[in-house]
Amino acid sequence: MSAFPKDFLWGAASAAYQVEGAYNADGKGPSIWDTFSHLPGATYQGTNGDVAVDHYHRFREDVALMAEMGMKSYRFSISWPRLLPAGRGAVNAAGVKFYSDLIDALLEHNIEPMITLYHWDLPQALQDEGGWEARSTAEAFEEYARLCYQHYGDRVKLWSTFNETVCFIGFGYITGGHPPGIQNPARAIQACHHVFVAHAKAVAAFRRSGINGKIGFVNVLQTHTPLSDSKEDMAAFHLAEGIFTHWLYDPVLKGEYPAALLEQAQTLWGVPQFAPGDEALLRDNICDFIGLNYYKRETIAANNQDTHLTMNTSGKKGLGHQQGNEFGFKGLFKFVRNPNGVYTDWDWEIYPQGLTEGIMSIKARYGDIPIYITENGLGAKDPIIDGEIVDDDRIDYLSQHIQAIEDAIKQGADVRGYYPWSFIDLLSWLNGFQKQYGFVYVDHQKQLARQRKKSFFWYQDVIKSNGAKR
């Protein structure tokens, strides 16, 4: 017997740009990732999602594998420019049909769809008008959300608006590693505000639509630990908590920004600027649930130097956290290597207990909000032995994190589902295809043939036993 409720959703997740391919097929418009990934030097060895793992053409085969593994739910995202090639206005019927067919295929196998409306692939046409820095993008997002409700709301009950503001705003507007490649905190804060506005508008439209379902937001669950208990490191740690958790969760779970930080940002940079009605919009449209994506913990230290982050996109351990290659802000904080930590080859600390701690801290701050663990997984180069993919490290990683979720449930958290990242090996944004996460391997030398990994059979047992066998 496990502590998991009997209707617990054992799932897996993916995102449109990372799996679909067919980047210009059947009327799809370009996204900012289509543009960005074609720029020389932007991604690891020039990899892109033009073909990805061709899920667009092979989704029936993929759904059959999901069913065989026993998945009860599948979290996927919709590509906005596949539905609305210019971001608003003319609708691409072939795009609408693709997701409709995918949803039907899932339901035929009793797999509950969970839709993410935005997993980073903004229509390029909207970026050309200012992207998230333009308030009109929030209005276009509402139009897009309503289109999705209209076509899929009869069959889909679980929806989330955005995936991981910290990444697409943080990398997009602060470090500049993701599109649109800007490095300007003030512009980041205003863009982020428009995302919260877009979210609230989409939640309001969802409630007006009368769909019999729930709508939430997906955030990175970034747990922090101070490097030491010195006054300086503790202050840096509290600041990191404020920025990476309170700033990003409060607007969607409490309907307001954390007051002290808001005042500081507005004094320092004059942002975020509110339009009339924004405060009420945020306050009246908080989420039904929160999705938490947990991969790693960050160790936080005081910081008196300029820092510049070059991400480890090669999988050569130790490239992250080198002197001068630490993410941070001068005078505020930086992320450093935990001297006692266990790290992946991409320098992500493996710390399963952080998932229990993080869930409980969300519960402590936001009350009894329903929680889904919408991502969690190990990025690794999987060993192939005698033709079999023997991903024991992934099994260990996931097993320990399932334990961590069970611990949180025993401590009273309302966790309703678990979506490991990912169902299938996919394009890992800047890291190409070498950073594998899936239960299913894709052979890029053999016409993208699918192969079940050792973890596929292991997860099948986990699901069958409702988490008891792991």
- With contacts defined by CB under 6 A, how many residues of the chain interact with ligand BG6? 13
Q: Is 79 in the site for ligand BG6 (CB under 6 A)?
A: no
Q: By the 8 A CB rule, do 398 and 377 touch?
A: yes
- How far apart are alpha carbons 115 and 102 in whole angstroms? 11
Segment 274 to 293, residues that bind ligand BG6, using CB under 6 A:
293
Interacting span for ligand BG6 (CB under 6 A) from 63-71, 121-129, 207-215, 427-435: 427-435
- Nearest residue (CB) to ligand BG6, 217 versus 429: 429
Q: Is 48 in the site for ligand BG6 (CB under 6 A)?
A: no
From the CB of residue 66, how many other CB atoms can be counted at a distance below 10 Å?
Answer: 23
375 has catalytic annotation: yes
- Nearest residue (CB) to ligand BG6, 56 versus 295: 295
HSE toward the beta carbon, residue 11, CA cutoff 13 A: 27
From the CB of residue 192, how many other CB atoms can be counted at a distance below 10 Å?
Answer: 23
Give least dist CB 217 to ligand BG6, A.
13
Give least dist CB 276 to ligand BG6, A.
33
Give least dist CB 45 to ligand BG6, A.
15
Q: Which of 30, 87, 358, 379 binds ligand BG6 (CB under 6 A)?
A: 379
Q: Is 429 in the site for ligand BG6 (CB under 6 A)?
A: yes
- Nearest residue (CB) to ligand BG6, 205 versus 287: 287
Give least dist CB 15 to ligand BG6, A.
5
Q: Which of 435, 450, 453, 454 binds ligand BG6 (CB under 6 A)?
A: 435
Catalytic pick among 164, 375, 388, 406: 375
Q: Which of 48, 161, 431, 455 binds ligand BG6 (CB under 6 A)?
A: 431
Nearest residue to the partner ligand BG6, using Cβ: 428
- Nearest residue (CB) to ligand BG6, 85 versus 379: 379
Give least dist CB 90 to ligand BG6, A.
28
From the CB of residue 183, how many other CB atoms can be counted at a distance below 10 Å?
Answer: 13
Interacting span for ligand BG6 (CB under 6 A) from 239-247, 404-412, 423-431, 455-463: 423-431
Segment 130 to 189, residues that bind ligand BG6, using CB under 6 A:
163-164, 167
Q: By the 8 A CB rule, do 184 and 259 touch?
A: no
Q: Is 428 in the site for ligand BG6 (CB under 6 A)?
A: yes
Interacting span for ligand BG6 (CB under 6 A) from 247-255, 282-290, 429-437, 448-456: 429-437
Measured in whole angstroms, the distance separating CA 87 from the mean position of its chain's CA atoms is 21
Give least dist CB 447 to ligand BG6, A.
23
Give least dist CB 170 to ligand BG6, A.
10
Q: Is 15 in the site for ligand BG6 (CB under 6 A)?
A: yes
List CB contacts of 93: < 8 A, sequence separation 6 or more: 27
Task: Return residues touching ligand BG6 (CB under 6 A).
Answer: 15, 18, 163-164, 167, 293, 375, 379, 421, 428-429, 431, 435
Catalytic machinery residues: 375
